[in-house]
Amino acid sequence: MKRFLAFLAFLIIPFTLRADPWNAAVSKNCGNYIQTYSVTVSSITPTLLVDPAVAILSACIDIFDNSANTVWIGTNTATLQTTGFPILSSKTYTTDGSYTGSVYGLADSAAAGSINARTIYYLKNDAVR
């Protein structure tokens, strides 16, 4: 029994010592307040989802597809459904603090009209980003 316990200790202790929660943790400083917007996204005309005037101030941006259909996002309004990035139903697309441009959205043609998306800007008012 002692040999078995020693063998288990030999296997478990190295893995336990490698677990360093302080250095392994990932911290993301996304600001100290938010602004949220509800956006009606058309399936015919591209809609502005991320306003560059607000994006320049934000640390992170989330776009949530609040519908049962796909939202296609991108910066080129002419080719959103062919080259855009899909945000599936009830999923979130997140940017980091370095993106400051516009993002347009186009509802999937299956929506046959318009759907709802939510844009959340994580902003900082305590320091320069």
Beta-bridge partner residues of 121: 35, 61
Position 18 in a domain: no
Please state whether 31 falls in left (phi above 0), alpha (psi between -120 and 50) or beta. Answer: left
Position 62 in a domain: yes
How far is Cα 58 from Cα 72, in angstroms, rounded to an integer?
22
* Residue 82 confidence (pLDDT): 85
The parent domain of residue 53 ranges over 30-123
CATH code for the domain of 91: 2.60.120.770
Position 104 in a domain: yes
Which has the higher per-residue pLDDT, 82 or 28? 82
How much is the average pLDDT of 40-45? 93
How many independent structural domains does the chain possess?
Answer: 1
How much is the average pLDDT of 2-26? 63
Position 46 in a domain: yes
Residue with tokens 């063998």: 7
Q: For the whole model, what pTM was predicted?
A: 0.74
3-state secondary structure of 31: coil
* Best CA proximity match to 36, nearest among 126, 122, 124: 122
Position 105 in a domain: yes
The mean of the pLDDT values for the chain is 83
How far is Cα 107 from Cα 51, in angstroms, rounded to an integer?
18
Position 76 in a domain: yes
* Residue 41 confidence (pLDDT): 95
Position 129 in a domain: no
Position 68 in a domain: yes
